[in-house]
Amino acid sequence: MTISQSLNAIATVSLRGTLEEKLKAAAAAGFAGVEIFENDLIGSALSPRDVRAMLDDLGLACMLYQPFRDFEGLPGDLRRRAFDRARAKFDLMEELGTDRILFCSSCHPAALGERARIVDDFRELGGIAQERGIIVGYEALAWGRHVNDHRDAWAIVEAVDHPNIGIILDSYHSLSRQIPSESIRAIPGDKIAFVQLADAPLLDMDLLYWSRHFRNLPGQGGLDVAGFVAEILRTGYDGPLSLEIFNDRFRSNAARLVAEDGHRSLDYVRDAAQRLIDQPTAMPAPQPVLGCEFVEFTADGSDAARLGSSFASLGFTLVGEHRHKKVTRWRQGGVNLIVNAEPKGFASAYRATQGTSICAIGVRVKDKAAVLARAAALGIKAYSPEGRPGRMAMPALRGVGGSLIYLIDDHEVEGLWAREFDAVEMDADAIGADVRSIDHLAAVVHNDEFLSWQLYWRSLFGLEARAAQDVIDPSGLVHSQALQSADGAFRVTINASDARETLSSRFLDHGFGGGYQHVALTTDDIFATAKGLQDNGAAMLEIPANYHADLAARFDLDEVLAARMADDGVLYDEDGEGAGFWQMYSRAFDKLFFFEFVQRAKGYGGYGAPNAGVRLAAQNRFRPDAIPAATL
């Protein structure tokens, strides 16, 4: 079997369904091959020859059969039986049409740790494998009885010194034990039989339980998988990169979604690894988001008028009307809000399924062509606007919940607004300046897409993940993951919940799929902003007095300041260095979205997570379905 560096593979254990369904999903996602997980084959009604025929029909190769457990270091009759099992598996592999098998380090209670005995076992096995044309890969399980470090596995393979015995490297087993990836440099590339990849959140728990339930795709966790792969590529390894994922969420997700994300994750991590060691890459580098230029809302009729009134109460001013479409531009400081009331086109179609909602965002980048090329390489779909006169001919990508992400080269921004919109006559001082920029956007997605959208932002734009948070809603738990550009110029949070009555779940129930639920706006003076909102009659979220009484005690706040915060409904948090964060919220528009106003002290990098439960409890008291749909 000839394999090349560009091939992607996936273990069937990573996907949900029958073996047949798993193979079809892998083929549809573009994988070149699969690892056949033994339990999947044993539980299948297909014979090994039937599986081989199906693989041929789908254009897939069986790149590895796995796992073979508890082989080395066994005494007496146990050793004989282990070799008999190996011969039987070699026969099965011939029927499957694969020449590679994974032998994982033994966990058997009778296994002996004598190095010479283990080396002898693999040397004898190598002779049997050579007669069959089979490559045996030895993998150090993180919880192996005597061998749990790839450095020890390599020492054994090196001592065996047989052409049919190599090492299998698995990112989870090495990185979970914090084994330096630089140690891979001691291994010649032609002795690496196979590479398996998995990421994982950084958790402190038993390694086996962590492995069996919390592995995820590269780009969805906290392990340095790119650095691990970079060291493997440095050796000259030219085999495939393969995914072996054990994850409770993946076991319930559609195989198609996991397979597509898996293929994207391998392309992403290979690209990142090649950049680390200055190797040529197949796609442009990630383009950082320089900022969110606008948020677009879809609304028509009375909803559009009410939305405009709501924006005005929040301090925004109508500054432009599109020259050819029913689209208006509202502005405050550096923030642009767009209301699209067109009866046809994308916004109208989005409105039909989601109602009055956020249908698109526009982001500034240095090179939109590079973003589009990278998106295509990662399998992220582009949206093609008509580009006729009177249309905002901006390229766009499909985003969360079917929304769009418009791409704008930074130098084109001013020309774009001047070209597309007629200015509305107003006093020179009419445009408010309390709000400076968009601090972050918050999206809600279905639980099975929670990891998928994290991979989207990280792989496409190179956003960095902050520490994940579990937020207590009065009706259940909400999982939240914040992602942001390195300089903090663009931030987005992804939220999901299994509980049916949480605010996040009710938002999803309202429409079709996920979407953006709130927009956070940056101000330099939260109290001046609060006064302006009060003067404008903005409907703001009421925070209970108990919160502010506790707040004053926790942070030793001045009585006057604490009273002012209580009057204005301002929440507060600070980090370990004493950097503060102030925030307040509008009431929700119908059942759909709301606004947050924040003031960040320099150095504060969070999102006020300790206040999230209080905010959700307050919103629960003002459930949108119990509020007249008149104002925010």
- Ordered by start, the domain boundaries in the chain are 8-276, 291-423, 436-626
Per-residue pLDDT at 584: 97
Nearest one of 5, 1, 41 to 23, comparing CA atoms = 41
Annotated binding residues for Mg(2+), written as ranges, equal 440, 518, 596
Number of other CB atoms surrounding residue 321 within 10 Å: 14
Whole-angstrom Cα distance, residue 95 to residue 432?
Answer: 73
Whole-number pLDDT of residue 92: 97
Encode pLDDT of 408-437 as tens digits: 999 999 888 999 999 998 766 667 678 999
In which band, very low, low, confident or very high, does the pLDDT at 210 lie, cut at 50, 70 and 90?
low
- What pLDDT does 211 receive? 67
Q: Which of 425, 428, 434, 444 is nearest to 538 (CA)?
A: 434
Given a contact cutoff of 8 angstroms between Cβ atoms, the answer to whether 325 and 368 are in contact is no
Q: What percent of the chain has pLDDT over 70?
A: 93
* % the chain with pLDDT above 90: 72
Q: What are phi and psi of 289, to 5 degrees?
A: -80, 125
Q: Supply the pTM of this predicted model.
A: 0.89
**Strands, E, within 160-266: which ranges?**
165-170, 192-197, 241-243
Average of per-residue pLDDT across 400-412: 93
Residue 272 has what pLDDT?
96
- The two counts, helices (H) then strands (E), for the chain are 21, 26
| 592's tokens | 């759909």
pLDDT(5) > 80: no
Could you say which of 2.60.40.10, 3.20.20.80, 3.20.20.150, 3.40.50.620 is the CATH number of the domain covering 8-276? 3.20.20.150
Angstrom distance (rounded) from CA 615 to CA 146 = 51
Q: Which residues pair with 64 in a beta bridge?
A: 35
Determine phi and psi for 259, rounding to 5 degrees: -65, -45
Q: What is the pLDDT of residue 626?
A: 42
pLDDT(598) > 70: yes
For the cut 60, the answer to whether the pLDDT of residue 630 exceeds it is: no
Checking phi first, is residue 356 left (phi over 0); if not, alpha (psi -120 to 50) or beta?
beta
* Mean pLDDT rounded to a whole number for the chain: 90
Task: Please tell me whether residue 446 adopts helix, strand or coil conformation.
Answer: coil
Query: Which comes out higher in pLDDT, residue 250 or 438?
Result: 438
pLDDT digits (tens, 9 = 90+) for 561-573: 889 999 999 999 9
The DSSP call for residue 203 is -
Element of type H or E holding 546: helix 545-555
Higher pLDDT, 390 or 174: 174
- Which residue ranges make up the annotated binding site? 139, 170, 196, 244, 440, 518, 596
Ramachandran area for residue 128 (φ above 0: left; ψ -120 to 50: alpha; else beta): alpha
**Both tokens assigned to 584:** 């307040």
Alpha-carbon gap, residue 217 to 247, rounded angstroms: 10
pLDDT of residue 429: 65
The pLDDT confidence band at residue 389, using thresholds 50, 70 and 90, is: very low
* Under 8 Å between Cβ of 598 and 522: yes
Question: Per-residue pLDDT for 625 more than 60?
Answer: no
- Is pLDDT at 124 greater than 70 in this prediction? yes
Cis upstream peptide for 610 (omega within 30°): no
Mean predicted confidence (pLDDT) in 203-213: 67
Encode 48-64: b = buried (16+ Cβ within 10 Å), e = exposed. beebbebbeebebbbbb
CATH number for the domain running over 291-423 = 3.10.180.10
Contacts of 181 (CB under 8 A, 6+ apart): 174, 175, 224, 227, 228, 230, 231
Q: Domain 436-626 falls in which CATH fold?
A: 2,3-Dihydroxybiphenyl 1,2-Dioxygenase; domain 1 (3.10.180)
Binding residues for a divalent metal cation: 139, 170, 196, 244
Of 500-509, 526-535, 544-553, the least confident: 500-509
8-276 shares its CATH topology with 436-626:
no
pLDDT the model gives residue 393: 63
Q: Over range 480-509, report the average pLDDT.
A: 87
More confident residue, 61 or 474: 61
Mean pLDDT of 473-500: 89
Residue with tokens 């295509």: 376
Confidence of residue 624 (pLDDT cuts 50, 70, 90): very low
Q: How many CB atoms lie within 10 A of CB 525?
A: 12
- The string of pLDDT tens digits covering residues 523-540 is 999 999 999 999 999 999
Q: If you average pLDDT over residues 23-45, what whole number do you get?
A: 96
3-class state of residue 254 by DSSP: coil
Where residue 3 falls among pLDDT bands split at 50, 70, 90?
A: very low
Q: How far apart, in Å, are the Cα atoms of 83 and each of 153, 193, 304?
A: 19, 20, 74
